[in-house]
Amino acid sequence: MRLDMESLRIFVAVIEEGSIAAAAARTHIVASAVSKRVSDLEDDAGTPLLYRHSRGVQPTPAGEALYHHAKRLSEHLQQISDELSEYSAGLRGHTRIYVNFTAMVQYLPGVLRAFLRTNPKVRIDMVEKSSDEVVQAIASGVADLGICSATEDSLGDLQWRPYSVDKLVVIVPSDHRLAGRASVSFAEVLEDDVVSMPYGTSISKLCRTAAERAGKRLRVRIEVTSFEGVRNMVSAGLGIGVLPKGSVTPYMHSVPFRVVELDEPWSLRPLLIIARHFDTLPLPARMLVDHLDKQQGSVS
């Protein structure tokens, strides 16, 4: 069967308008030409596509099938046209992304500056959340894209691609016995009271799992809901903490705590770009993903 888009466009109009005359008016083509297009389609298909009666036309089962395919094809071609127009006119639109603190502070400022300089008509709504909250936001459709520290098995059906590596470190009060150390094992961390992120967060899960493997319990003295809270409590001498390196590096010279490397394989956490489906993202979001891929792991 030979098909052309103009005939399909006219056929869609005939079905939606319910008459040859109304379709002719909608498509700005004389009625005889519309009728000829439909007849040619029927000849090519080898079967009637319309029931014709005095009040207009209705699709046959074959016509109904052709209508749905033609409608989807028309919408897809319109999407292609719209997206190409965006390229020629300059990308515009907006996208909403959820990111963890490490991504926001350590990676995204310079990367987004370059992207927005190239695409000045794009608006990015960025929200900083914990990695667990980022995953939840993408899964629920609240955001288009996420950047967070997560393991593949924690993402369910979400799609992901690698971006960088997030390093966990130990922070201790300035006068703590570990303050002068270059690195410590987690077994040494377990000897102290800990200022922890809430139970169920990714860092808390990692620390509790590591403690269980060592046959010990994490000595949580206080739980706080933010990286800032952990930094402040550690600075006040209420315990030691485990945080992403990017969340403490900017404050090392202004807050009374010390940063000690955590000498454990699990302290290296992959930083991932996540989405429900990368292929169906809005164009600005897909362009941003391409840009992030090219700038992968660049520190601002």
User: 247 to each of 81, 159, 251, how far by Cα in Å?
Assistant: 43, 26, 8
Give 153-186 pLDDT, tens digit per residue: 789 899 999 998 889 999 999 999 999 899 999 9
Q: Is 264 found in the same domain as 183?
A: yes
Structural domain count, the chain: 3
Residue range of the domain that includes 150: 90-164+272-294
Give the Cβ contact number of residue 159 at 10 Å: 15
Question: In this structure, is residue 13 part of a structural domain?
Answer: yes
User: SS3 sequence, 106-135?
Assistant: HHHHHHHHHHHHHCCEEEEEEEECCHHHHH
| Structure-derived torsion over alpha carbons of residues 107, 108, 110, 113, reported in degrees to the nearest 10 | 170
Asked if residues 230 and 240 have their Cβ atoms less than 8 Å apart, the reply is: no
Residue 94 has pLDDT above 90, yes or no: no
Q: What percent of the chain has pLDDT over 90?
A: 63
Report the sign of the C-alpha dihedral through residues 150, 261, 197, 124, in that order: negative
Q: Is 185 found in the same domain as 278?
A: no
Residue 133 has pLDDT above 50, yes or no: yes
Question: In this structure, is residue 300 part of a structural domain?
Answer: no
Asked if residues 262 and 183 have their Cβ atoms less than 8 Å apart, the reply is: yes
**More reliable by pLDDT, 50 or 150:** 50
Question: d(Cα 11, Cα 70) in Å, to the nearest integer?
Answer: 8
Give 198-241 pLDDT, tens digit per residue: 887 778 888 999 999 999 999 999 999 888 899 999 999 999 99
Domain end point (choices 30, 62, 88): 88
Average pLDDT, whole number, for the chain? 89
Domain end point (choices 88, 105, 123): 88
pLDDT, position 92: 72
Task: Supply the pTM of this predicted model.
Answer: 0.56
| Structure-derived torsion over alpha carbons of residues 157, 160, 166, 168, reported in degrees to the nearest 10 | 10
For residues 3-16, average pLDDT: 91
Give the Cβ contact number of residue 66 at 10 Å: 23
- Per DSSP, helices labelled H in the chain are 5-17, 20-27, 31-45, 61-89, 101-102, 108-118, 131-140, 186-189, 202-213, 227-235, 283-294
Question: In this structure, is residue 231 part of a structural domain?
Answer: yes
pLDDT, position 230: 93
Residue 300 has pLDDT above 60, yes or no: no
Of the candidates 196, 191, 192, 169, the one whose C-alpha atom is nearest the C-alpha of residue 182 is 169
Q: Please tell me what DSSP assigns to residue 240.
A: B
Question: In this structure, is residue 276 part of a structural domain?
Answer: yes
Q: Is 284 found in the same domain as 143?
A: yes
Q: Is 177 found in the same domain as 28?
A: no
Asked if residues 273 and 160 have their Cβ atoms less than 8 Å apart, the reply is: yes
Question: In this structure, is residue 112 part of a structural domain?
Answer: yes
Two tokens, residue 249: 């590096």
Q: Is 145 found in the same domain as 77?
A: no
Q: Is 108 found in the same domain as 32?
A: no
Of the candidates 224, 202, 197, the one whose C-alpha atom is nearest the C-alpha of residue 132 is 202
Q: Is 111 found in the same domain as 20?
A: no
Q: Is 116 found in the same domain as 42?
A: no
Q: Is 277 found in the same domain as 238?
A: no
Domain end point (choices 72, 88, 104): 88
Question: In this structure, is residue 156 part of a structural domain?
Answer: yes
pLDDT, position 298: 53
Of the candidates 134, 142, 129, 104, the one whose C-alpha atom is nearest the C-alpha of residue 274 is 134
pLDDT, position 3: 78
Q: Is 280 found in the same domain as 152?
A: yes
Question: In this structure, is residue 299 part of a structural domain?
Answer: no
Give 279-294 pLDDT, tens digit per residue: 989 888 999 999 998 8
Question: d(Cα 37, Cα 85) in Å, to the nearest integer?
Answer: 29
Give 41-93 pLDDT, tens digit per residue: 999 999 999 999 989 999 999 999 999 999 999 888 887 777 677 655 556 78
Q: Please tell me what DSSP assigns to residue 241.
A: E
What are the two backbone dihedrals, phi and then psi, of residue 221, each rounded to the nearest 5 degrees? Answer: -90, -35
Q: Is 172 found in the same domain as 265?
A: yes
pLDDT, position 88: 58
Domain harbouring 217, CATH code: 3.40.190.10
Residue 101 has pLDDT above 80, yes or no: no
Two tokens, residue 70: 């033609």
Q: Is 284 found in the same domain as 153?
A: yes
Question: In this structure, is residue 142 part of a structural domain?
Answer: yes
Element (H, E) at 275: strand 268-275
| SS3 category, 193 | coil
